[in-house]
Structure 1
Amino acid sequence: MPVEQTQLLIVGWHMKPSPPDFDSLLKSWSYVPGEVSARRGHGADGRLVLQLRIDLGVLQMEADGRPDGVRPLGHDTYLDALRAEEAIAGEDFELDDDQCVEIDREFVQYYHRRVAWLALREFDHVVSDADHTLALMDFSSAHAPNDDWVEEHEQYRPFVLFHRTQAAALAELQRTDPEAAVLVIDEGFRQLRESLADLAAIVGEDLEDDEAYDFSTKLEELRRSILVEYDLEAPLDEQLANAIAHEEYELAAEIRDRMARRTRSRQS
């Protein structure tokens, strides 16, 4: 290579802009082990972004659309892209290895953003991202290449349902509707029980002692705290069960009468 060309290459290399210095950013926002720390920020064009502090740096995510801002195959999310492919392929559609990798990428991205929204107490956004994750889980399990894939991913469904139920209940409290929050938790209990039963069938073993059952305990604690803080009565069916358990049969009869009157009033 001529000397002149070599010199141009060297000069060009030295003239490349140096990468941004992130030292000041990381020093001004310390990482605290065991603590989820997130904040809102703005991109160069002024758009809203989310930033999540992690051990080795900062994750930045889009607040709208897919967290990485990419439009897979021209669609808003990879789930939308897969649904389009399924519509063309028909009933024989099955995920291949590359698609499984991309699904996992989307799972992880939505997990990080869901955690950031939780830390920021943006509970409606948590619900929305959890719904997307559950829909992606439904799709991937229905078209999985094998049972191992299903088991590997379905084990996280109780965790996502817990996040969703918790966030939906807290969103109702933000709207000052504690009764709706209790109903949300009750529905979450139902979905969580179904999920745990389905998971037990998939793995072929009893999950009574599994850590996933801790989610039910945490939801029960949240439910109880709402009833106490807002001085709410427990639902009539729960009051009836408690009265029977404590052999308070006159109270049980009164509760049954109240339930019957409520049923008649709804029917009229």
Structure 2
Amino acid sequence: MSEKPQADGPKRASRMNPDLTELLQGWHYEPGKINVRLIESPDGTQFIQVRLDLGILQMALDGRPDGQRPEGYESILDLYESWIEEAERENHGAGPLETPDAEPIEQGDAPLEPPRSNSGSPSDSPLRLTHEQCVALRDEAIQYYHRYLALLTLEDYERVIRDTTRNLRVLDMLENYAEHDEDKQSVAHTRAHVTMMRARALASLAMRDNEPKAAIHAIDEGMEALRRHFESIGHEELFEQSSEVQVLQGMKQALMPKLPVSQKAELRKRLDEAVVQENYRLAAILRDELNSIPD
């Protein structure tokens, strides 16, 4: 008669329990708000957690949100930027860029290999991003999008500025280096939102430091960037209708009463300088500011 197999008690007891029920029951989901918190691992590393209706999303506080380091770089964006910088500095579009010694790793279906050489014309960029590489950039940018929304809820404005500035670099890279037009335009519609969130974080950071003048300056720069964006896509009429512009205008109106009286004189000076320089767009913004300050 064969012996009954012995239960692997100690080894089984040491295994991690994959059931999340206890975690989920300890942190209830609240509809209509971003449920976010900072947690600390046993080794002291901090992570962001977002409570969703069906689970918990965890992201690294710094670096790439999923904690990966493609080819040793902080992100795929940084990796691509290094290849493009190298090609523009040394190759000048005259030949293909050598593949790094490290074996390329997979990012979904997009191998992390140098962008294609584009030596057909001296005026062209030396490299072009394939469709697969553009998809990898977009997917990575979504991770940073989720993180900067959570960071804004935590009022970590410095990191919101970092992540939104970083995602604007993604949009610039796709616009300048994507091989196909559809990839150039695939996320162009998100520029208004990223620009607004960055300006909002800059203004909030300035207000936390009790600098209303700097806060309004950040908002003005954000609205000017939004105006340029809508002009560049041939839809200037969308500027006033934009929800992003309305958010920044609302912030600005709330800040105006907090400005010192001397601010009015400085605004008049800036308005005069803008008119002399024929920067009528800025002059219009400054004139609106002056009119909104109570006497």
- TM-score interval, smaller chain: 0.7 to 0.9
* C-alpha distance in 2 between matches for 1:171 and 1:108: 24
**Structure-2 residue corresponding to 1:96:** 130
Match of 2:231 among 197, 200, 205: 197
1:148-202 Cα distance to aligned partner (Å, 9 max, x none)? 222221110000000000010000001111111011111111111111222x33x
Secondary structure class of the residue paired with 2:19? coil
* 2:70 corresponding residue in structure 1: 72
1:218 aligns to 2:269 (yes or no): no
1:45 is paired with a residue whose SS is coil
**Structure 1, unpaired ranges of 5+:** 246-268
Residue 54 (str. 1) matches residue 52 (str. 2): yes
Task: Give matches, 1:219-238, under 5 Å.
Answer: 219-230=248-259, 233=263, 235-236=267-268, 237=271
CA RMSD of aligned residues (A): 3.1
Q: Deviation string for 1:4-38 (max 9, x for gaps)? A: 9xx79x979x9593633311221222222231121
Task: Name the residue aligned to 1:187.
Answer: 221
* Structure-2 residue corresponding to 1:253: none
* Secondary structure in structure 1 of the residue aligned to 2:36: strand
Alignment of 1:119-134 (within 5 A): 119-134=153-168
Query: Would you say the 8 A contact 1:36–1:116 is kept in 2?
Result: yes
Aligned to 2:38: 40
1:165 aligns with 2:199: yes
SS in structure 2 at match of 1:52: strand
Write the distance in 2 (CA, Å) between the matches of 1:56 and 1:131. 30
Unmatched tracts of structure 2, length 5 or more: 88-96, 98-116, 118-124, 272-283
After superposition, give the CA deviation of every residue in 1:118-138 in whole Å (9 maximum; x if it has no partner): 000111110010011001111
Per-residue Cα deviation, 1:24-82 (whole angstroms, up to 9, x for no partner): 22122222223112111112322011111122111111111111111111111111111
CA pair 116-196 structure 1, distance change in 2 beyond 3 A: same
Q: 8 Å contact 1:172–1:181 — kept in the other structure?
A: yes
Query: What amino acid is the match of 2:252?
Result: R
- 2 CA distance for matches of 1:244 and 1:79? 42
Q: Do structure 1's residue 106 and structure 2's residue 104 form an aligned pair? A: no
- Counterpart AA for 1:19: N
- In structure 2, do the counterparts of structure 1 residues 174 and 18 end up closer, same or farther at CA, with 3 Å as the change threshold? closer
Q: Give the C-alpha shift of residue 216 in structure 1.
A: 0.9
Indicate conservation of the 8 Å contact 2:60/2:66, yes or no: yes
For 2:169, the equivalent position in structure 1 comes to 135
Q: Is the 8 A contact 2:131 2:183 kept in 1?
A: no
Flag the 1:211–1:81 CA change in 2: closer, same or farther, 3 A. Answer: farther
Residues 131 and 178, structure 2, Cα contact 8 Å, conserved in 1: no
Distance in 2 (CA, whole Å) between partners of 1:127 and 1:107 is: 14
The 8 Å contact of residues 230 and 238 in structure 2, kept in 1 or not, is answered as no
Do 1:38 and 1:53's aligned partners in 2 also have CA atoms closer than 8 Å? yes
- What is the percent sequence identity of the aligned residues? 29
Q: How has the CA–CA distance of structure 1 residues 231 and 101 changed in structure 2, closer, same or farther, with 3 Å as cutoff?
A: same
